Amino acid sequence: MLARRLPTVLPLLAPDESLETTRIYSALGRMPAGEALLAVRPFRSPHHTISDAGMVGGGNPPSPGEISLAHHGVLFLDELPEFHRKSLEVLRQPLEEGRVTIARALASVTFPASFVLIAAMNPCPCGYLGDARRTCKCGPLQIERYMGRISGPLLDRIDLHIEVPTVPFQELSAPADGTSSASMREQVQRARDVQQKRFGAGGRKLNAHMSSRQLRKFCATDVEGKSLLRTAMDELGLSARAHDRILRMARTIADLEGAADIQAAHLSEAIGYRSLDRKLWAR
C-alpha cells in the first residue's frame, strides 16, 4: 500500500520525462487507449517469477523490460528473496547508471531505466520474527538462508532499510489523519528545488547522484557528526559505498527540513536506515 502511494508524493512528471517514458510505452504498444502522453509516473510490480530478460529487457532484436517501463517512476519488488537471484543481480548496473545496455553480437542497445526501487521482504520465511503476537517457527539457519538470497552488493545499493511493524486492525480501519500526499509532494518539491539550486540549472541532478568531489563540497559535517560517522563505520563495519550513501541521505534529510548544514541528528537518522547492513554483519 505504501509503495503504491510513492508516485503520488514524487514531483509531477515533467514534460521531457513524460516524453521519454511515453516513447518506451509506445514502442511496446503499451500506451493506455486514448492517451497520447503518459501524465503520471509509472508504477510497475512484476511477479517474483519474472526472468532476467523480462526484468531488464532482452530478445532479439532487444526490447525493453520492466525497469524501462518503470522509467521516471517506481519499480516495486514484493517478496524480494523469492525473485530469481539472476533477475536481481542484473539490477545492479541500471541502479547505478539509470540505463541498461543489452549486448548482442551485431549491435548493443541502451534503454533508459531511471527508477525508484522499492522492495519488500519478510523478516524470516514464516514472517513472524519479532512479531509480538505470533511466534516465529524458523530456525537460525533457515533465517540465514532466507536473508542470504539478497546479495550484499544489491543491499548496498538500496538507500533506506526500514522495518515496518504489523499494523493492528483498529489502526487500519481508523479514520485517516496525518500528512496528505499533496503536502508531502510539496515538501519533496521544495527539497528538489534546493538540489536544483545546488547543482545548477539545466540538469535534474539529485543528491543521490553526487560525485565524491561534490560529496566533500556539499556534505561537510561538524566534529560531532564526524565522530558519529566514524563510530558507525567501525561498529557496523559499513562499506565505503554505505558511508557515501549515508552522507547523501543525511544531505537529503537536511534538505527536507530546510536546513543549510548537515547536523548530527540528520546523520544519525541516515545511519538508522542501514539496519540490514547490521543484520548481515551480525550473521
Q: Does 138 help bind Zn ion (rule: CB under 5 A)? A: yes
> Among residues 9, 31, 136, 215, which is the contact residue for Zn ion, using CB under 5 A?
136
Here's the x/- map for Zn ion, 70-109, by CB under 5 A: it reads as ----------------------------------------
Stretch that binds Zn ion, among 78-86, 131-139, 175-183, 230-238 (CB under 5 A): 131-139
> Among residues 69, 91, 124, 249, which is the contact residue for Zn ion, using CB under 5 A?
124
Shortest CA distance to 40 belongs to which of 181, 192, 157, 161? Answer: 181
Write the Ramachandran bin of 178: left for phi over 0, alpha for psi from -120 to 50, otherwise beta: left
| Closest distance to Zn ion from the beta carbon of 5 (Å) | 28
Stretch that binds Zn ion, among 85-93, 133-141, 158-166, 254-262 (CB under 5 A): 133-141
Stretch that binds Zn ion, among 103-111, 129-137, 197-205, 238-246 (CB under 5 A): 129-137
- Residue 77 has phi, psi (to 5 degrees) of -110, 105
Distance (Å, whole) CA 278 – CA 204: 33
What letter represents residue 122's amino acid? Answer: N
Shortest CA distance to 220 belongs to which of 269, 266, 278, 272? Answer: 266
Q: What residue has cell string 566533500?
A: 216
Stretch that binds Zn ion, among 30-38, 117-125, 196-204, 265-273 (CB under 5 A): 117-125
| Closest distance to Zn ion from the beta carbon of 171 (Å) | 23
| Displacement of CA 76 from its chain's centroid (Å) | 9
> Among residues 3, 9, 31, 126, which is the contact residue for Zn ion, using CB under 5 A?
126
The 8-class DSSP code of residue 91 comes to: T
Shortest CA distance to 181 belongs to which of 11, 56, 63? Answer: 11
Is the distance from CB of 72 to CB of 41 less than 8 angstroms?
Answer: yes
| Closest distance to Zn ion from the beta carbon of 119 (Å) | 19
- Site of interaction with Zn ion (CB under 5 A): 124, 126, 129, 136, 138
